[in-house]
Copies of this chain bind each other. A is one copy, B any other.
């Protein structure tokens, strides 16, 4: 950020009164511009024993497999975001269930949420951001060509919980250096 989005003047990095971190402050109108983490919300769409995955048609990780997920929009709920992304990327309609995984990636200021979801029918197809979309049994998941570590975490925990017959809510902090898993109750 170099310019004030409110008035177009320059911004400078300053610690505002009563604050503890440097912020982009407008040198003209004084507006303080805060930068906040972004939420990426996705679904784990289930049909019988299988999971719906999308192969990415866009960077990053073009050609790799992912759960349908994307940046949450203003004025929607997390569940609405999960359903919208599934419709956009996989042309599939789902009923969104409970929150299943929350993954922090602080180095890029992102929080990823994945919801359990039930597919309403067998209609699905590659959306504009997908090369192909397919249902995978656990034994066929393309573990070596998954796009994101948060997707791997959600899938691993999902199959583990399914084997145990009880689904929880799982959390993980991802870093380029290490990863730390924190389990919920």
CA distance A88 to B39 in the complex (A): 24
CA distance A171 to B33 in the complex (A): 30
Partner of A36, one of B10, B38, B171: B38
- As for how many copies of this chain the complex holds, the number is 2
In chain B, what residue has the closest Cβ to A80? B106
CB neighbours (8 Å) of A107 from chain B are 75
CA distance A8 to B1 in the complex (A): 10
Pair A2/B3 contact, Cβ less than 8 Å = no
Pair A75/B182 contact, Cβ less than 8 Å = no
Given contacts A74-B35, A98-B171, A169-B99, contact A5 B7 (CB under 8 A): no
CB neighbours (8 Å) of A18 from chain B are 128
Pair B36/A173 contact, Cβ less than 8 Å = no
Min CB–CB distance A15 → chain B (angstroms)? 13
Given contacts A3-B5, A5-B3, A72-B36, contact A166 B182 (CB under 8 A): no
A147 close to chain B: CB less than 8 A: no
CB neighbours (8 Å) of A122 from chain B are none
Pair A74/B8 contact, Cβ less than 8 Å = no
CB neighbours (8 Å) of A60 from chain B are none
CA distance A76 to B107 in the complex (A): 8
Pair A98/B5 contact, Cβ less than 8 Å = no
Pair A99/B171 contact, Cβ less than 8 Å = yes
A21 close to chain B: CB less than 8 A: yes
Interface residues of A in 127-183 (CB under 8 A from B): 128, 166-169, 171, 173, 182-183
Contact with B along A74-109 (1 / 0, CB 8 A): 111111100000001000000000110010101101
